[in-house]
Structure formats: C-alpha cells, structure tokens
Homo-oligomer: A and B are copies of this chain.
C-alpha cells in the first residue's frame, strides 16, 4: 500500500460519515483532523473511543460535526473542551453520552460480528435512561432472581482515523501498546492512518514488532504526517505539548478566538508547509 498525501486521505471521508477517534492518550491523528477542517467536511458523526479530546474540539469548532457519541470531552489539565461546550449550549451538536466500557464493548461486538454484547453496571444511570438503543434484559443465565443486565448494540463506524508510529512496506501499521486502535480498526469499515514514517520490511514477520502491529487488511489508506499527533504525545517518540493546548484552550473560549487559532494553526501552517 503506497502512502497518499494527507489531503488525499482527508478527501476519503465524505460528509455525514460516522468517524471514530481515539482520545488524547491513544494516538489521535491531529494532523488528519486539521486536514479534514481544511477539506471542509460537514456533518461528521464523531465517536470518542472511549472519550474525546483535542481533535474533537477543533473539528466541532470548525463546524464539521453534527453529533458526538462519547463518554467525556475534555482537554485534560487544560480543562473543559471550549468549542464542544459552546456548540452543545448553542444546540449546534447532538451529544450522545455513553460510559467508557460501553464504547469499548459496542466496538468489540462489531469486532466479533455479533449484534450485541452485555455490560454490567449502568442500571439506574441517566446515561441508560437516555439511550433508547440500549436494552435491559434479565440475565438468561441467572439461577435465582431477575438479575437485569444491559445489552449494547454493535457499533460499526464508517471510518476510524488515528496516528501510528510507522507503517511498513506491506501497509501494516504499528501502534505498540495502544491496541484499542486495533479494536477500532477491526470494528470500523475503513481505517485511515497517518504515520511518522514508512519503514522497510514487514512487521508481521518480526516477532518483536508483530504484537503491536495492525494488519494491512484493516487499513484503507496511509499518509505520512510527521509529528502528526502533536500536540498530543506519541509513545516514546515525543511528549505532550501542554503549552500548545493551553494556548488553544485560552483562544478557543470565544468563537473569534477559535477562528484566529484555526486560521493560524490549521490553514496557514499548511500553506507554509506547501511552500
């Protein structure tokens, strides 16, 4: 699989797609989120696996998003996600709340090709009360009493985007211990991946690397994006850029501030890079 350009990768995502994104501690592709903003994608239905962070907030701020299914949206130590909060208040996005293990479970159901999976907990929570797509049934294996348990439907996103450390010549990508990216790739129809670099060889032939690899069979497109997770950390490759996120959090408090940030960090940076 030959890498394509970042802009070409972003062009693969049509308006209205259901797009799963990992959170800020698990290899989000901020580079691809910025490219999606430049492409002007609209009506994305985002899924935070299991929570949402920086990439989600900038996509919402840029008007690309119509709904977010997630267990939380936050910028970590930099506080609440400002464009998410503003869009919710303004009624511009629909928020479908979940709880972290429910997001994982729904994706695991899709990964296994079953229509649902059960999950403990949740009963008595208003999350459940606001999820007409979740069902409570008596545990069929209970020996005494009703033992109600929640069943969650399989979730099969149209796309997942994440940032892997590297790809190999065969199109396998390497995410190391962040194996939830593998689960999301298995559960999604298409996986679009940015990487720091492409290396020779085949990760699956290397016993040391195979366990952190995702087989190319799940990968629909790869683009090289150096420092593509930034400001988020990438394994042992680079750290979290707290100052960048803090500045974002400050500027994005207002719509105008976000517009200025976006002009500078999403559009100008790309123009510079293209020179």
Which residues of A pack against B, CB within 8 Å? Answer: 101, 105, 108, 112-120, 135, 137, 139-142, 147, 149, 151, 153, 175-177, 179, 207-212, 235-236
Contact = CB atoms under 8 A, between A and B. Distances in A.
Nearest to A211: B212
Which of A101, A120, A140, A175 has most chain B Cβ within 10 Å?
A140
A209 B236 CA distance: 12
Contact of A118 (B115, B149, B177): B115
Contacts of A117: 112, 114, 117-118
A129 to B, nearest CB: 18
B236 A176 contact: no
A118 B110 CA distance: 12
Given A114-B120, A207-B212, 11 more contacts: A112-B117, A112-B119, A114-B119, A116-B118, A135-B140, A141-B151, A176-B211, A177-B211, A207-B235, A207-B236, A208-B212
Nearest to A179: B211
B139 A177 contact: no
A116 B141 contact: yes
| Stoichiometry (number of copies) | 2
A179 B215 CA distance: 15
A151 B149 CA distance: 14
B210 A176 contact: yes
Nearest to A204: B177
17 contacts: A108-B108, A108-B112, A113-B120, A114-B117, A114-B118, A115-B141, A116-B141, A141-B151, A141-B153, A175-B211, A176-B207, A176-B208, A177-B207, A177-B211, A207-B236, A208-B212, A211-B212
5 interchain residue pairs of minimum CB distance? A211-B212, A177-B210, A211-B211, A207-B235, A114-B118
Contacts of A116: 118, 139-141
A89 to B, nearest CB: 33
A232 to B, nearest CB: 15
A149 to B, nearest CB: 7
A9 B147 CA distance: 38
Which of A119, A147, A175, A211 has most chain B Cβ within 10 Å?
A211
Nearest to A182: B211
Which of A116, A139, A207, A209 has most chain B Cβ within 10 Å?
A207
